Amino acid sequence: MSEQSLSEKSPVSEKIPVTVLTGYLGAGKTTLLNRILSEPHGKRYAVIVNEFGEIGIDNDLVVGVDEEVFEMNNGCICCTVRGDLVRILDGLMRRKGKFDAIIVETTGLADPAPVAQTFFIDENVGRKTKLDAVVTVADAKWLNERLKDAPEAKNQIAFADVILINKTDLVSPEELSDIEARIRGINPYAKLHKTERAKVPLDAVLGRNAFDLDRILDLEPDFLGGDDHDHHNHNHDHGHDHDHGHGGLKHYHDEEMQSIALRTDKPLDPDKFLPWVQDLVQKEGPNILRCKGILAFKDDDQRFVFQGVHMILDGDHQRPWKAGEKRDSRIVFIGRNLPGKMITDGFESCIAK
Amino acid sequence: MAASGSDTVSVVERTRPLTIGGGIVAAHFLGRTAAFILGEEAIVLAAPDGESRRIAAHGGAILATAADGARIVSGGDDGKLVATDANGETRVVASDPKHRWIDHVALGPDGAVAWSAGKTAYVQAKESNSQSNKQSNREPRAFEAPSTVGGLAFFPKGFRLAIAHYNGATLWFPNAAGAAPERLEWKGSHLGAAVSPDGRFLVTTMQEPMLHGWRLVDRQHMRMSGYAARVMSLSWSASGEWLATSGAAQLVLWPFQSKDGPMGKTPRLLTPSGHRIDVVACHPRTDVIAAGYNNGLVLLARIEDGAEILAKTPGDVPVTALAWSGDGRLLAWGTESGEAGIIDLG
């Protein structure tokens, strides 16, 4: 179901993991990067940066690039790659053995989607490297403002696998709780960490395998404080901004960016579901930032898993369902102005008769 | 299928195997000396008498090479453009002042060299002994492309360079002061360039698994698609009538005999296999093509009748380099993991 499957070419273990650091201007990306590079972990990192000179580490594997977002010549405007990454990753992989992982620091205004899509679209990149996770650093004091005036900041939150709420020392506990709820209103699935000076255990941001089809199954919202209330079959297509209490954490719905989570315990018909989801991302792809799913198909003893970025989908059978395992199908969409009712109805129409 | 057929002609037994000690990204011949380009730092020269020498050329990755039979020029992530000859003598031709990666290189007629770093393409004419124009010719000229340069190719005649980039290509006459470079438009990212031996066509490889071409006289477009993967390797046949390409599970040859080139024509398809061809190299004298597969197989195919000869049995790792000696008697191959061989076809 993918344009180019990431999985077939070489064993996943040999692929070099690539971590993408995003975050609006001044949020603390470079602080996090310097922390990653300077901690005594014994690992060697190649680093692709857009603003030279801020890295305090002497490293001949630091490469400065100009971000170049290239549209693919296939009539799909959201189908873009980062041309600079195609070039730089190919060059870096000629020196494989000199480093264990690659970190890409984007500019504060960058959209993470073309970075992620590069790994799906470019076979040469996908064969030798794998996207590990998109890590977004958010400024606890200013994110609220940026979510109002900077679409890039909202994209970065919505797209993230891991979010650091940084500079927590500059805000009150109430403000921190508020910003956390704002983030959750946009992206309830990312792993969330509250940090000062981007101080975070490195295994919280590196080696996440967030784009590994075998590991994308973390579809439960990552609410803090054990507040694991049920969101399934909850349509977030509200017409107005509102908030209400939820175990001490306010609950915001972002006017523009939402997530939709759907679940059913009835088996799906693959001949209905696969065309439906393809058609959905074709039509709504520009608005769907990411999607993921675990599917139980009728008369199929294998779990099917998929993920997508805008219009690009990648999916495969993952493993047999275990004895006694609940054969639920769960899918999640994160995107802008998603047509919730249409998606919910469409999903339900894929249930096998 | 040819590779497994019992009656397949084979030249495998004529192979002299070599251990190179590093992943190979390209191969060239300097006379009868084979040169294997490693992914980083070194070029291994294998002379006909069996002696191999490792030549230190760069301080990091070797990103691009070109050769004209007498010398190899290579661009590295150390920001250097280095020339290497058959004796293993190296010389730094140019250093990027900002240590930017030298991404692409090309050699032209009359010894001209071109290279690019980011968006900037440079050309330098052949070093001249004449005092009068020595200064002006030695100074490289620069062209600022609208985006990072994707590929470079000289025209076979005249001091003219094709530069592939995002949304098209530019034709540049470095010596024509005041003449605006000619822009050829086609949407998308163009990553490699090849000019037909008769100078009438420019073909680019694209980020998509397809080629784009222009008939230069009237800028007619040619779209050449149907590939499984991005086309990474292009080679013109000895006659100039065919363009051999990688990127599919068979050898795709586009016809360029007529004035229309491949417009409205289907390509000739040879050596069908279940595996993808990653590198192609046309014989310099006859219309025979060497094709290297991503499963390690190398086949020679004759265009005329599609006859196949086995040159290397499949293994585990992709073939990444193929090169013919200028007389067409030697074929060098190399793989991603550093296996290499020279086949003496006599």
pLDDT digits (tens, 9 = 90+) for B298-313: 999 999 999 999 999 9
DSSP element (H, E) containing B95: strand B90-95
Q: Does A13 touch chain B (CB under 8 A)?
A: no
Q: Nearest 5°: phi and psi at A272?
A: -100, -45
Q: Which of B190, B206, B207, B336 to mutate to test the interface with A (most CBs of A within 10 A)?
A: B207
The predicted structure's pLDDT at residue B164: 98
Measured between alpha carbons, how far is residue B315 from residues A319, B298, B335 in Å? 29, 10, 10
CA A83 to chain centre: 20
Q: Mean pLDDT, chain B, as a whole number?
A: 93
Which residue of chain A comes nearest to B276, CA vs CA?
A9
Return the minimum-mean-pLDDT range out of A62-71, A167-176, B116-125. A62-71
- In angstroms, the CA A69 to CA A248 distance is 42
Going by C-beta distance under 8 Å and a sequence separation of 6 or more, which residues neighbour residue A117? A79, A80, A81, A309, A310, A312
Instruction: For residue A56, give both structure tokens.
Output: 């305090």
The sign of the torsion formed by the CA atoms of A10, A12, A17, A19 equals positive
Closest to B77 (Cβ–Cβ): which among A66, A91, A96? A91
The predicted structure's pLDDT at residue A224: 41
Q: Which of B40, B212, B293 to mutate to test the interface with A (most CBs of A within 10 A)?
A: B40
Contacts of A92 in chain B (CB under 8 A): 61
The predicted structure's pLDDT at residue B78: 94
> What is the band of A6 on the pLDDT scale with cuts at 50, 70, 90?
very low
Selection from A11, A42, A21 nearest residue A214 by Cα: A11
DSSP string, A248-301: TEEEE--SSEEEEEEEESSPB-HHHHHHHHHHHHHHHTTTEEEEEEEEEBTT--
Average pLDDT of the segment spanning B72-97 = 96
The sign of the torsion formed by the CA atoms of A222, A226, A227, A229 equals positive
What percentage of chain B reaches a pLDDT higher than 70?
Answer: 95
Helix (H, G, I), strand (E, B) or coil at B326: coil
Closest to A60 (Cβ–Cβ): which among B60, B148, B166? B60
Q: Do A95 and B39 touch (CB under 8 A)?
A: yes
* A82, pLDDT greater than 60: yes
- In angstroms, the CA B284 to CA B307 distance is 18
The predicted structure's pLDDT at residue B7: 63
Q: Mean pLDDT, chain A, as a whole number?
A: 85
Contact A198, A309 (CB under 8 A): no
Q: Nearest 5°: phi and psi at B343?
A: -100, 125
Query: Which residues are registered as beta bridge partners of A250?
Result: A245
Instruction: For residue B141, give both structure tokens.
Output: 């000229």
- In angstroms, the CA A125 to CA A78 distance is 19
Which residue of chain A comes nearest to B23, CA vs CA?
A94
Contacts of B191 in chain A (CB under 8 A): 86
Going by C-beta distance under 8 Å and a sequence separation of 6 or more, which residues neighbour residue A321? A296, A301, A302, A303, A327
* A221, pLDDT greater than 80: no
Instruction: For residue A5, give both structure tokens.
Output: 């499957």
- In angstroms, the CA B77 to CA B208 distance is 25
Which residue of chain B comes nearest to A52, CA vs CA?
B98
Return the minimum-mean-pLDDT range out of A34-38, A243-247, A326-330, B66-70. A243-247
* B13, pLDDT greater than 70: yes
Give residue for tokens 């993808």: B276
The sign of the torsion formed by the CA atoms of A3, A9, A10, A11 equals positive
Task: Give the count of beta carbons closer than 10 Å to the beta carbon of residue A348.
Answer: 13
Instruction: Identify the burial level of A131 via C-beta atoms within 10 angstroms of its C-beta, where 0-12 means exposed, 13-18 middle and 19 or more buried.
Output: buried
Helix (H, G, I), strand (E, B) or coil at A180: helix
| Closest approach of A91 to chain B, Cα-based (Å) | 6
Instruction: For residue A269, give both structure tokens.
Output: 């018909």
Q: In this predicted complex, what is the ipTM?
A: 0.92
Average pLDDT of the segment spanning A12-25 = 87
Task: Give the count of beta carbons closer than 10 Å to the beta carbon of residue A234.
Answer: 14
The predicted structure's pLDDT at residue A249: 66
Closest to A94 (Cβ–Cβ): which among B39, B187, B207? B39
Q: Do A68 and B166 touch (CB under 8 A)?
A: yes
> Where are the extended beta strands (E) located within chain A?
16-23, 45-49, 62-64, 69-71, 80-82, 101-105, 129-139, 162-166, 191-194, 243-246, 249-252, 257-264, 288-296, 302-309, 312-320, 329-336
Query: Which residues are registered as beta bridge partners of A17?
Result: A130
Question: Which residue intervals of B40-192 are DSSP H helices?
Answer: 131-138
Nearest-5° angle of CA B274, CA B278, CA B279? 125
Contacts of A121 in chain B (CB under 8 A): 207
Instruction: For residue B48, give both structure tokens.
Output: 């006909």
Instruction: Identify the burial level of B144 via C-beta atoms within 10 angstroms of its C-beta, where 0-12 means exposed, 13-18 middle and 19 or more buried.
Output: exposed
* A244, pLDDT greater than 60: no
Q: Does A212 touch chain B (CB under 8 A)?
A: no
Instruction: For residue A351, give both structure tokens.
Output: 């249930």
Q: Do B207 and A81 touch (CB under 8 A)?
A: yes
Which residue of chain B comes nearest to A9, CA vs CA?
B294
**Tens of pLDDT, residues B122-162:** 999 886 555 444 445 568 999 999 999 999 999 999 899 99
Q: Which of A94, A120, A121, A128 to mutate to test the interface with B (most CBs of B within 10 A)?
A: A94
The predicted structure's pLDDT at residue A284: 92
Q: Do A71 and B188 touch (CB under 8 A)?
A: yes
DSSP string, A18-38: EEEEEE-TTSSHHHHHHHHHH
* A5, pLDDT greater than 60: no
* A236, pLDDT greater than 70: no
* A242, pLDDT greater than 60: no
Going by C-beta distance under 8 Å and a sequence separation of 6 or more, which residues neighbour residue A8? none
- In angstroms, the CA B1 to CA B6 distance is 10
Query: Which residues are registered as beta bridge partners of B151?
Result: B164
Rounded to 10 deg, the angle between the A173-186 and A151-159 helix axes is: 80
> What is the band of A216 on the pLDDT scale with cuts at 50, 70, 90?
low
Q: Nearest 5°: phi and psi at A184?
A: -65, -30
- Residues of B engaging A, defined by a Cβ cutoff of 8 Å: 23, 25, 39-40, 60-63, 77, 101, 103, 118, 147-148, 166, 186-189, 191, 206-208, 210, 229-230, 232
Selection from B3, A57, A41 nearest residue A49 by Cα: A57
DSSP element (H, E) containing B61: strand B52-67
Return the minimum-mean-pLDDT range out of A244-258, B28-42, B246-260, B330-344. A244-258
Average pLDDT of the segment spanning A252-280 = 92
Instruction: For residue A310, give both structure tokens.
Output: 């805008």
- In angstroms, the CA B188 to CA A245 distance is 49
The predicted structure's pLDDT at residue B64: 98
Closest to A95 (Cβ–Cβ): which among B61, B188, B229? B61
Nearest-5° angle of CA A202, CA A204, CA A210? 120
> What is the band of B33 on the pLDDT scale with cuts at 50, 70, 90?
very high
Closest to A95 (Cβ–Cβ): which among B60, B166, B191? B60
Tell me if the pTM is above 0.80. Answer: yes
- In angstroms, the CA A209 to CA A75 distance is 31
